[in-house]
Amino acid sequence: MAPSVEDSNNNTAAAAIGGGVENGTPPPEKSRVTVVGSGNWGSVAAKLIASNTLKLNSFHDEVRMWVFEETLPTGEKLSEVINRTNENVKYLPGIKLGKNVIADPNLENAVKDANMLVFVTPHQFMEGICKRIVGKIRKDAEAISLIKGMEVKKEGPCMISSLISEQLGINCCVLMGANIANEIAVEKFSEATVGYRKSKDIAEKWVQLFNISYFNVSAVQDVEGVELCGTLKNVVAIAAGLVDGLEMGNNTKAAIMRIGLREMKAFSKLLFPSVKDSTFFESCGVADLITTCLGGRNRKCAEAFARNGGKRSFDELEAEMLQGQKLQGVSTAKEVYEVLRHRGWLELFPLFSTVHEICIGRLPPTAIVEYSEHTPKFSLVGGSNQFF
Ligand SMILES: NC(=O)c1ccc[n+]([C@@H]2O[C@H](COP(=O)([O-])OP(=O)(O)OC[C@H]3O[C@@H](n4cnc5c(N)ncnc54)[C@H](O)[C@@H]3O)[C@@H](O)[C@H]2O)c1
Ligand SMILES: O=P(O)(O)OC[C@H](O)CO
């Protein structure tokens, strides 16, 4: 059974400041936050949030964090070690999360009282997680997804925020940005973008929960644009890593990033015409693309893949190099490819389609910079097409 935390600013204190029992109006209910996920970014998100809930009267101090339980080499359970040491020794070693972060291996228990749910797991696990908690969360819960990825169903592509909204029947915002977790963990400055659909008030509450001196958050009314930026940049990061592994140099890498950004924008607008151009200039857009192509895990594994001439699979490299952390770019490239194939758009997106074909071994890593019948000239992309 996971422990719990008493509020330092309890409701009596809140009542003393704004109304309360003395003048007959009950104090507004404090929000309860649960973070669903405890990987590298999930743990940093819990740390950020926990530092803010201690300061903000409108939130309960305690931040519950669902842990996908595993047994460590020492024989101990990860959740027990987190609660004892206040550190996620596997996914974020060396960083104290805050004593008000409580690791809970029981998913249903972790979510049941929360009215603010933060989803931050690798995207491939979200469908199963939603199925487990349908009907077990508060009806008034609000959600935010920090997950970069999407699902492809028979009906077409499904963004993770839509999956959460549709399966759980709740509103879901998104938070994406140039956010390499290990850098934010040591409190180096970065920015992030919240994407919201309708309610600016809800978006502002999320901004309040995440914003801190070294993490500058702003909100834009463009859920799909923000989420697609975060999702698609992982495919471009694979391309950038391949170019690094081939030792092509900075100009080639910049070219790949430029072409990738054009394909990100075109793909997003073809799927959701409401996506705004301005979103690509937020932290979730060009800034995330740059940081991921310079320092992300997708880039790192793709570099190793190219150095090995494509002879070692991404699964093998992921297991060896990331030790439990997960790549999102390889599966996203496959999902994007499925959409392109179904809609007859493959030729319009040579970078995205080439990345997938390299990942599955149909093309060699060098194809990322070769013009062939399989990879139409990148320079052909654009011209009169309104989406590029
Ligand atoms: N790490 C970053 O720098 C970063 C930054 C921004 C966004 N993101 C995004 O956040 C999301 C989560 O990434 P992360 O870095 O927190 O995770 P991670 O890759 O570090 O860790 C993998 C997580 O998956 C869990 N897991 C393994 N098997 C599982 C299963 N069957 N069911 C449920 N969970 C399982 C593990 O316990 C672990 O918590 C991803 O979409 C990622 O793109 C990551
Ligand atoms: O390490 P990556 O490649 O999963 O990227 C991490 C973040 O998404 C960067 O914002």
- 292 Cα: distance to centroid of ligand 2 (angstroms): 5
pLDDT at 200: 96
Residue 288 alpha carbon, nearest atom of ligand 2: 10
- 84 Cα: distance to centroid of ligand 1 (angstroms): 22
> Tokens in use for 255?
């070219």
For the chain, the distance separating the N- and C-terminal CA atoms, rounded to the nearest angstrom, is 53
Q: Does the Cβ of 298 fall within 6 Å of ligand 2? A: yes
Ligand closest in space to the Cα of 284: 2
Q: What is the pLDDT along the chain (388 residues), one digit of tens a residue?
A: 788 888 875 543 343 333 445 567 887 899 999 999 999 999 999 999 999 999 999 999 999 999 999 999 999 999 999 999 999 999 999 999 999 999 999 999 999 999 999 999 999 999 999 999 999 999 999 999 999 999 998 788 999 999 999 999 999 999 999 999 999 999 999 999 999 999 999 999 999 999 999 999 999 999 999 999 999 999 999 999 999 999 999 999 999 999 999 999 999 999 999 999 999 999 999 999 999 999 999 999 999 999 999 999 999 999 999 999 999 999 999 999 999 999 999 999 999 999 999 999 999 999 999 854 444 444 433 333 445 5
Q: How far is CA 60 from the centre of its chain?
A: 24
Cα torsion 1, 164, 59, 288: sign: positive
Same domain, 239 and 374: yes
Query: 66: helix, coil or strand?
Result: strand
CA pair distance 346, 114, nearest whole angstrom = 43
Let me know if residue 388 belongs to a domain. Answer: no
Let me know if residue 3 belongs to a domain. Answer: no
Residues 6 or more apart from 363 whose CB is under 8 A from it? 354, 357, 374, 375
Same domain, 48 and 194: yes
Same domain, 175 and 313: no
Q: What is the pTM of this model?
A: 0.94
pLDDT at 388: 56
Identify the domain containing residue 254 by its residue range. Answer: 234-383
> Tokens in use for 178?
């140039």
CA-nearest residue, atom 40 of ligand 1 = 122
Q: How far is CA 258 from the centre of its chain?
A: 22
CA pair distance 206, 12, nearest whole angstrom = 25
Which of 223, 246, 278 is the last residue in one of the domains? 223
Residue 328 alpha carbon, nearest atom of ligand 2: 4
Q: Does the Cβ of 148 fall within 6 Å of ligand 2? A: yes
- 158 Cα: distance to centroid of ligand 2 (angstroms): 21
Dihedral through CA 373, CA 150, CA 302, CA 322, nearest 10?
A: -160
Q: Does the Cβ of 190 fall within 6 Å of ligand 1? A: no
Residue 91 alpha carbon, nearest atom of ligand 1: 20
> Tokens in use for 365?
């890593």
Q: What are residue 95's phi and psi, to 5 degrees?
A: -120, 125
Q: Does the Cβ of 68 fall within 6 Å of ligand 1? A: yes
Q: Does the Cβ of 276 fall within 6 Å of ligand 1? A: no
Residue 148 alpha carbon, nearest atom of ligand 2: 8
CA pair distance 252, 238, nearest whole angstrom = 14
Same domain, 142 and 269: no
Q: What are the residue ranges of helices labelled H in the chain?
A: 11-17, 40-55, 78-85, 107-111, 126-133, 160-168, 181-185, 200-210, 223-245, 250-271, 288-295, 297-307, 314-322, 329-343, 350-359
Let me know if residue 112 belongs to a domain. Answer: yes
CA pair distance 147, 119, nearest whole angstrom = 7
Which among 147, 215, 219, 142 has a CA at the least distance from the CA of 184?
A: 215
Cα torsion 158, 160, 163, 166: sign: negative
Q: Does the Cβ of 231 fall within 6 Å of ligand 2? A: no
- By most ligand atoms within 8 Å of CB, the mutation choice from 179, 326, 327, 355 for ligand 2 is 179
- 180 Cα: distance to centroid of ligand 2 (angstroms): 5
- By most ligand atoms within 8 Å of CB, the mutation choice from 41, 190, 234, 327 for ligand 2 is 234
| ipTM for the whole complex | 0.99
- 232 Cα: distance to centroid of ligand 1 (angstroms): 17
Let me know if residue 229 belongs to a domain. Answer: no
Q: At what angle do helices 297-307 and 314-322 cross, to 10 degrees?
A: 120
- By most ligand atoms within 8 Å of CB, the mutation choice from 47, 231, 326 for ligand 1 is 326
**CATH code at position 242:** 1.10.1040.10
Same domain, 306 and 330: yes
Same domain, 241 and 218: no
pLDDT at 382: 37
Let me know if residue 61 belongs to a domain. Answer: yes
* Tally of domains within the chain: 2
CA pair distance 388, 385, nearest whole angstrom = 6
**CATH code at position 187:** 3.40.50.720
Same domain, 208 and 328: no
Q: Does the Cβ of 34 fall within 6 Å of ligand 2? A: no
Catalytic residues: 233
Let me know if residue 371 belongs to a domain. Answer: yes
Asked if 327 and 301 touch (Cβ cutoff 8 Å), the reply is yes
Amino acid at 72: L
What is the chain's alpha carbon radius of gyration, rounded to the nearest angstrom?
22
Same domain, 76 and 202: yes
Same domain, 148 and 250: no
> Tokens in use for 231?
């999702």
Same domain, 28 and 126: yes
Amino acid at 291: T
DSSP 286: I
Q: Does the Cβ of 299 fall within 6 Å of ligand 1? A: no
Which among 293, 255, 278 has a CA at the least distance from the CA of 379?
A: 255
Which of 173, 189, 223 is the last residue in one of the domains? 223
Let me know if residue 2 belongs to a domain. Answer: no
What are the beta bridge partners of residue 144? 118, 173
Same domain, 43 and 190: yes
Question: Which residues carry a binding-site annotation for NAD(+)?
Answer: 37-42, 68, 125, 181, 297, 326, 328
Which of 223, 249, 275 is the last residue in one of the domains? 223
Same domain, 219 and 282: no
Let me know if residue 287 belongs to a domain. Answer: yes
